[in-house]
Structure 1
Amino acid sequence: MELAPIVLFVYNRPALTLSTLQHLSKNREAKDSILYVYCDGPKESATPAQLQLVEQVREIVHSEQWCGKVVVMEALKNKGLATAVIDGVTEVIGKHGKVIVLEDDLTVSPFFLKYMNDGLNRYAHEEKVMSVHGYLYPLPIPSNYKADTFLVHDPGSLGWGTWSRAWSKFEPNTDKVIQQIKEKGLKSAFDFWGAYPFFRMLHQHKNGKVSSWAIRWRATAYLYDMLTLYPVKSLVRHDGNVASATHHFKEEDWLYTDIYQEPIAVEAIPVQNNLPMEKAFAKFLRSNAGMTIPAKIKNRLKKYWRKIIGHA
């Protein structure tokens, strides 16, 4: 069966881009895969140093034959990640019917492409499944769970793949998404029962405070009651929580995990939501993403003292 094309979105982080490409190229399937690289353009206010970083990234992309075929698109102006992802995924999936998506701050296992393609092939015609995800939070798997994969509603955004049948359900209009979630009474489940303010992020996106394609992709999963395949061991590591990152938000990267160095078997499992794992996701987010009461107090105190220091 034809391997899914890979789409990589890059911008102005040379070291991270190089790491992503080097690790991707170590996958056995890379030599037979098509890689589309979307290079975002510089912002209008870019300094000479920032322009140089954008150029360095493009030089790295062109420096080697990272996959069997490499197609590079270089934007003249800055689109921003949300627009770039939506446009790029839509374009490539329109040509191939399926896609594997990476960003420039993800390091992948040498078995990442095998898992992704196995998952995309197994669930290609399963309407209940909307995507395949390669990253897993650093959380424990119940000892009585024996399969290598499981299904939950959360589609994730750190190394993922999907098909045109699922991507066609993506709704870019945030007002419509918010209204539909309200009408269907999905807010609590969408927020992982209070573990993380995903619904608030929809409003923040609507009001221009954040720019996120992923929060609207998450909404697709809940509005259509669709599931995403996850591995029990992470095949992706998130390396992007650095000061230069657009969405850098805290010093400690609670998304960081080790990369599993063995194959993940994509075997037949019940096509249904694994509620215990979904609850484990919620517990992890509540404990690590600042939603516990002590964490909330700590974050508020940090903001308070930063404000005081800023006015000193």
Structure 2
Amino acid sequence: MPLNLPTIIVIGYNRPKSLSRLLSSLRKAHFPPGNVRLVISLDNSGMEEPREVAEDFDWPFGEKRIIAHKTRLGLRQHVLSCGDLTEEYGDVIILEDDLFASPYFYQYTTAALSSYADDANIAGISLYSQQFNQTANLPFTPVDNGNADVYFMQLAASWGQAWSRSHWVGFRAWMEKNGTDIAHIDNIPADIRSWPESSWLKLYNAYIISRNKFFVYPYRSLTTNFGDPGQHFNIASSRFQVAIQQQNIDYQFAPLESSLAKYDAFCELLPESVKKQNERLAAYDFTVNLYGCKDCRSGLQLTRTGQKGLFNFSLSMKPMELSVMHDIEGDGIALIDSAELNSASLTTPKTEYDMYRFFYKFPSVQVILFGFRERVQILLRSARSR
């Protein structure tokens, strides 16, 4: 166990109940002997309650520090200021106030940092297990990675993340050189590119993608997101709730280079991993585009289509890439030349319907009507509040 234990940094703004809930989960977690520092950083919301929650909270595991900003920073500057605390503390764990932590979050993070803190290919550690592809608006399931408890993605985490000093220094150096204009950076998903300027995560993702780095993600989540109304949600949402780890385990970490579970920013498995499992594809250069969110205009791509390709696979196994990796022939997936692909077919209502049926049980008419009514009500409330 390192002498310099990671410092926990809790980010709060104007949600005292959320802050109290997160702090309560931290209070119940397991920690090693030593000074486990807790920093509660509060942006200026004009409310007294968050400060009162922070001051009243008892932290018996080490030093407690409250940073109450006198002026409004905004989410981007607030998170950046917390990341800059790596200069003072070294390794940090960042938790926003709408999260809830597993009792074992500290063991996992400490062990992961011990393995990846100085790895030049790694840009940070996620405590949250990604189970949804936000770009495609569909579920995401990572493939098995042997006996490793983690997989790798070219997506930064914001629902519980840890940075070593070297992780953060790399990002800050990139940001100083590139600024906040990411228009010239390729391979950024359209939804990420459209995020508001208040998003620090937009910049960190651009950094990861442009430098070909990865975040480490756990198969068992150490945080979950309550989706409380705030910067991210207009109404409470359980969409990103995931099961969190309930028992202690002996974590196993794999090197990035030898791992099978490596994903790009579109939540697509890297071609090298597909080819490693299916030797028939080893001689081909292609882009993996199973979710259909990439704008592939040339070259071969592995995508969902009923067209005849060089190879055709069944859209049957979950996750989708397993049908390719295990060479399950059939319809629904093809390795095809992008010039021959009817790309418009990837976004037709029928294609979206087929994907919905692949991932979900189709709802009843009553459920569809109820959901439609609720959606209309939300839109009307939103329009009235403007």
Q: TM-score, normalised by structure 2?
A: 0.62
Letter in 1 for 2:228: V
Mapping 1:160-171, distance limit 5 Å: 160-170=161-171, 171=175
Q: For 1:242, which of 215, 228, 237 is the aligned residue?
A: 228
When you count helix as a share of all residues, which structure comes out higher? 1
The higher relative CO (CA closer than 8 Å, separation ≥ 6) is in 1
Aligned residue identity for 2:81: D
Task: Compare 158-167 and 110-119 and name the one that shifted more.
Answer: 158-167
Contact 1:116–1:134 at 8 Å: present in 2 too? yes
Contact 1:10 1:57 in 2 (8 A): yes
Give me the whole-angstrom Cα distance separating, in 1, the residues matched to 2:291 and 2:64. Answer: 38
| Alignment match, 2:122 | 129
Aligned to 1:215: 202
Instruction: Provide structure 2 residue ranges, at least 5 long, that are not aligned to the other structure.
Output: 132-139, 270-288, 294-346, 354-370
1:199 has 2:193 as partner: yes
Instruction: State whether residues 4 and 98 of structure 1, in contact with CA within 8 Å, keep that contact through their aligned partners in structure 2.
Output: yes
What is the aligned partner in structure 1 of residue 76 from structure 2?
82
Structure 2 residue matching 1:197: 3-state secondary structure: helix
Pairwise CA distance, 1:134: 0.6
Counterpart residue number, 1:46: none
Q: Which runs of 5+ in 1 are unaligned?
A: 43-50, 206-210
Q: Does 1:178 align with 2:183?
A: yes
Alpha carbons of 1:75 and 1:21: their partners in 2 closer, same or farther (altered >3 Å)? same
Contact 1:98 1:163 in 2 (8 A): yes
Report the Cα distance in structure 2 between the residues aligned to 1:307 and 1:214, rounded to whole angstroms.
30
2:156 aligns to what?
155
Deviations 1:118-168 (A, max 9, x none): 111111221111111010133545467442111221121110011222212
Aligned in 2, Cα 1:285/1:38: closer, same or farther, shift over 3 Å?
Answer: farther
Contact kept in structure 1, 2:147 and 2:252, CA below 8 Å = no
**CA shift at 1:62, angstroms?**
1.0
Task: Tell me, in whole angstroms, the C-alpha distance in 2 between the residues paired with 1:259 and 1:234.
Answer: 5
In the alignment, the residues of structure 2 paired with residue 221 and residue 55 of structure 1 have an alpha-carbon distance, to the nearest angstrom, of 37
1:266 offset after TM fit, Å?
A: 3.5
Matched, 1:112 2:105: yes
- Report the CA distance between 1:65 and its aligned residue: 2.6
Closer/same/farther in 2, CA of residues 112 and 285 from structure 1, 3 Å limit = farther
1:155–1:221: 8 Å Cα contact kept in structure 2? yes
Q: Distance in 2 between matches of 1:285 and 1:148?
A: 28
Separation in structure 1 between the aligned mates of residue 115 and residue 81 of structure 2, nearest angstrom:
26
| Pairwise CA RMSD | 3.4
Contact map agreement 1:24 1:30 (CA 8 A) in 2: no
Indicate the residue corresponding to 2:94 in structure 1.
101
1:102 to 1:144, Cα distance in 2 relative to 1, 3 A: closer
- 1:14 corresponds to: 16
| Range that drifts further, 148-157 or 251-260 | 251-260
- Report the TM-score when normalising by structure 1: 0.76
2:53 to 60, 65, 68: 60
CA–CA distance in structure 2, aligned partners of residues 213 and 309 of structure 1? 25
Q: 2:216 aligns with which of 203, 221, 229?
A: 229
Q: Distance in 2 between matches of 1:283 and 1:233?
A: 24
Fraction of identical pairs, as percent: 22
CA distance in 2, matches of 1:283, 1:59: 49
| Bigger radius of gyration | 2
Match of 1:37, SS?
strand
Equivalent pairs, count: 272
The CA deviation string for residues 51-101 of structure 1, in whole angstroms up to 9 with x for no partner, is 4xx2111111111332411011111222112111101221x1011222111
